[in-house]
Amino acid sequence: MIHFHSPDHDLLTESDKVLLGAAAPNLVRPYLSLWRNEHSTPLILLPEIAQATEVATVVMKDEGHRLGLGSFKALGGAYAVMTLFKRMLEAHLEDNISIAQLISPAARGFAASITFCCATDGNHGKSVAAGARILGCRSVIFVHEGVTTARAAAIGADEIVRVKGNYDMSVDEAERVSKERGWLLVSDTSWEGYEEIPSLVAQGYTILAEEALDQIEELNIDPPTHVFLQAGVGGFASSISLHLNEALGHENIKTIVVEPDRAACLFMSAKAGRLSSFSPTEPTIMAMLECYTPSLVAWRILNATATAFATVSEEEAKDAMRKLAFREHPIVAGESGCAGLAGLLTVAGDPEVRRRLGLNDSSRVLLINTEGATDPASYENIVGSTADDVLRNVANHSS
């Protein structure tokens, strides 16, 4: 399904533009120095997808190895944790400190008294836990009963708390317990009265948007005309959409938001013309996108910048995973990671949708693989090969 939307750029606040605009990556980048394996992720040309969808070019930013955590989320939660810890440490010391001093012996002593927490489907919690670990803080991550054992084990937190119900229920429980115990909640979804921290998380993601534009320029390709962005609560999609709007001009880029048809809270909000929740029926394999209430800030930004809201089925996501795994130069993409590609493949086959989106043989499409095989068993079951076997094919092609 697809819902066409008339974005109203005037809905954006000046603080939105500062937070996620052209200068935002400059605020994030210094914190990346605290990671030992910081490097840009690759941008990959997909000529066979461009041919199949009858557009000029398709490129994919592959976040499957970002900072060693397997997803773009590495940029958001950890950055927010580090930013918040810096504020707390400066208040404690009553002095300004450098980012490098966040891991000094004096900082370590203070860090031991701090606990960060959040709710997660997997990747955001992994980032929050990693940020806390780098600083020497404690992390407690809340996961709902739909999160697989493999995804929960991969988070690497000091403590995992299982919550009955879905993602939204784990968000509520994390908020309740954090208030009760004095922990610092670093959520990637926002609600009334809780907007600053999720906005910091979203600011971290602007790094990958800036990298993508730089890499496109290095390939001597004109900037994208369309971007297909998968969404759960919408923090990632809103961050990339606004950054591209500010960098390229909102008249030059069309954002298509893609969600699972079993968890389409932004799609429902766009149809209703207001923030709305989605009533779940059954789980989706796109587990990282299985959210039923949008982020307040993300919805406001997407309402101002998105051209369309689309949904994809379980089988369409599986098909996109296989297309990436069995191309000449394979890409490992998890169920949620390939949702943007699934969206492109779905809408490209409808002439009327193409016309309304302005999707034609001169269009240039940007996709982002937001995660690798975060659940190895699920990946192998869908693709028919392990992620390692797929990556061996990459090595074979490179040799």
164 is an active site residue: no
Looking up tokens 């499957």, which residue turns up?
A: 64
Helices (H), 258-338: 265-272, 296-305, 314-325
- Selected catalytic residue, list 73, 86, 126, 254: 73
**DSSP string covering 158-193, please?**
SEEEEESS-HHHHHHHHHHHHHHHT-EE--SS-BTT
Q: Is 10 designated active site?
A: no
CA distance 146 to 17: 35
Q: Are 19 and 196 in contact (CB under 8 A)?
A: no
For the chain, the first-to-last Cα distance in angstroms comes to 42
Residue 306: partners with Cβ closer than 8 Å, 6 or more residues away: 5, 7, 237, 241, 255, 256, 257, 270
Distance CA 336, CA 257 (A): 13
Q: Torsion angle, CA of 150/156/322/315, rounded to 10 degrees?
A: 60
Q: What letters, b where the CB count within 10 A reaches 16 and e where it falls short, cover 16-51?
A: bbebbbeebbebbeebbebbeeeeebebbebeebbe
From 16, 121, 261, 375, the catalytic residue? 121
Residue where the block lists tokens 């709305």: 276
Contact 70, 371 (CB under 8 A): yes
| Centroid of chain to Cα 319 | 21
Q: Looking at this protein, which amino acid is placed at residue 149? A: T
- 199 token code pair: 């906005």
Instruction: Classify 3 as helix, strand or coil.
Output: strand
Using alpha carbons, list the distances in angstroms from residue 324 to 6, 55, 107, 320, 329.
32, 18, 44, 6, 8
Instruction: Tell me if 382 sits within 8 A of 91, measured CB to CB.
Output: no
Active site members? 73, 121
